[in-house]
Amino acid sequence: MSRDKEISEQLNDYQDEYFKLLINVMIGNQDIIKPEQGYIDNWERLKELQRTISVFSQMKREISIEKAKEKLEEAFTPRIKSMLSKKVLKEMEDGKEE
């Protein structure tokens, strides 16, 4: 599994847990909330999940930017090499003429 897909799945899992817990805290659904956890514990878990979601979102963004850079390099490197090669050849020819 690719790193991007793995991060996306983890991010999705954290977001699912966050929203389920948030809904349970908001409606006070004690049947779904674990009995050993109180309101404060759930609130702290929500904050922890929020931070984790932020970190994973940033990681996903960085991976997307890196992929875009790689695609741009693939697209432009041959053309740039060709342009530079032509320029060097022209400069060499101009140098011989002098």
* pLDDT value of residue 98: 57
- Residues lower than pLDDT 50 in the chain: none
Gap between the Cα atoms of 21 and 16, Å rounded: 9
Chain position carrying tokens 């053309």: 79
CB 60 within 8 A of CB 4: yes
pTM for this predicted structure: 0.65
